Amino acid sequence: MNIEGKLYTLVYGDVSSISANPIEKKPFFHFWPGSWALTIGTWSCNFTCPWCQNYDISKVNPQPPKANYVDPEKFVRIIGNAGCSGCSISFNEPTILFEYSLSVFPLAYKKGLYNTFVSNGYMTIEALRMLRDAGMDAIKFDVKGDAEAVQRHCGADVNVVWRNVGEAKRLGMHVEVVTLVIPGVNDDDDCIREIARRHLKEAGSESPLHFTQFYPTHEMMDRPRTPVETLEKAHRIATEEGVQYVYAGNVPGHKLENTYCPACGELLIGRFGFTVTKYAVIENRRCPKCGLEIPIIGKYVRSTKLTRPLERWDL
């Protein structure tokens, strides 16, 4: 809020939701597989997506007098107590919690915990650099469609998002890109191909690209869930274009949740929903069959090691 010419954040440390989640839920598939991330969000958003799955917090204006304040030290303490390997700023757009993230990330980093953003990627390059300097390890970018769809539905310029995908890679952060595939918005072949091509250009062939299933919600109740065949088509197109790790999401039990070796086809990481069911690249992060190096950041953490597998936290 602009108060007499000075900008103030209304949400610093105001937590709307907090829970321990598998990192696969973000989704990050090539980053600390099997680990859990303590996840928080606040209120409001900088986009206007009518299909928002978290509209109960993203479409709500902050109310500082009613803030549920969690100071950064306490938040980082809860990460450890919950048996999580790091944190994730998520649920609504994490850039809204930019200043708070700059406080939390160095504290978590010092404790050997990872820091992540689950973001629509709409920030300045300067902000991205400040987050990296504060200790951000990974960022998931939501690419919501082509330029026309993103302008129409989200009120934003997708070129800024792609620019930041490239910049995050250059800054050395782990990057995964996700498109929620919505019938009639971004499910045509040309749009999928365009996303795959820009992914290759900005993130590179080894960065994971996810196509996830839409379900009717918020202001977009007028269309069905995305057919599984559409996600399979998106996988085929992106693979044809040269993306090596393409996944389908929100379809538990589908084989495109798994990681296969792009060279020999060996099943490397098996998943069911957000659970890792098989992990075959422990040795030097190489395919056990053909020896290809598989780009995985961080350690594999067996979920059973979570000391307190709580989904929700009462503060």
Query: Interface with Zn ion by CB under 5 A: which residues?
Result: 261, 263-264, 266, 287, 289-290, 292
Helix ranges (DSSP H) in 111-157: 125-134, 147-149
Of the two residues 42 and 244, which places its CB atom closer to Zn ion in the complex? 244
Residues written for the chain: 315
Min dist. Cβ of residue 287 to Zn ion (A): 3
Strand arrangement of the beta sheet that strand 138-142 belongs to:
17-22, 36-41, 86-89, 114-119, 138-142, 174-181, 209-213, 246-249
How far apart are alpha carbons 66 and 161 in whole angstroms? 33
How far apart are alpha carbons 251 and 228 in whole angstroms? 8
Could you tell me the two tokens for 18?
Answer: 């907090």
How far apart are alpha carbons 270 and 256 in whole angstroms? 10
Min dist. Cβ of residue 239 to Zn ion (A): 16
Min dist. Cβ of residue 268 to Zn ion (A): 8
Q: What are residue 169's phi and psi, to 5 degrees?
A: -65, -45
Per-residue DSSP letter, 304? G
Min dist. Cβ of residue 40 to Zn ion (A): 38
Of the two residues 60 and 292, which places its CB atom closer to Zn ion in the complex? 292
Of the two residues 248 and 261, which places its CB atom closer to Zn ion in the complex? 261
Min dist. Cβ of residue 288 to Zn ion (A): 8
Of the two residues 155 and 265, which places its CB atom closer to Zn ion in the complex? 265
Per-residue DSSP letter, 192? H
Of the two residues 127 and 280, which places its CB atom closer to Zn ion in the complex? 280
Of the two residues 184 and 291, which places its CB atom closer to Zn ion in the complex? 291
Of the two residues 102 and 263, which places its CB atom closer to Zn ion in the complex? 263
Of the two residues 29 and 75, which places its CB atom closer to Zn ion in the complex? 29
Beta bridge partners of 275: 272
Look at residues 2, 11, 19 and name the one whose alpha carbon lies nearest to residue 101: 11
Look at residues 106, 96, 55, 54 and name the one whose alpha carbon lies nearest to residue 76: 106
Look at residues 265, 247, 311, 315 and name the one whose alpha carbon lies nearest to residue 29: 247
Min dist. Cβ of residue 286 to Zn ion (A): 8
How far apart are alpha carbons 315 and 313 in whole angstroms? 6
Min dist. Cβ of residue 23 to Zn ion (A): 24
Min dist. Cβ of residue 262 to Zn ion (A): 8
Strand, helix or coil for residue 273:
coil
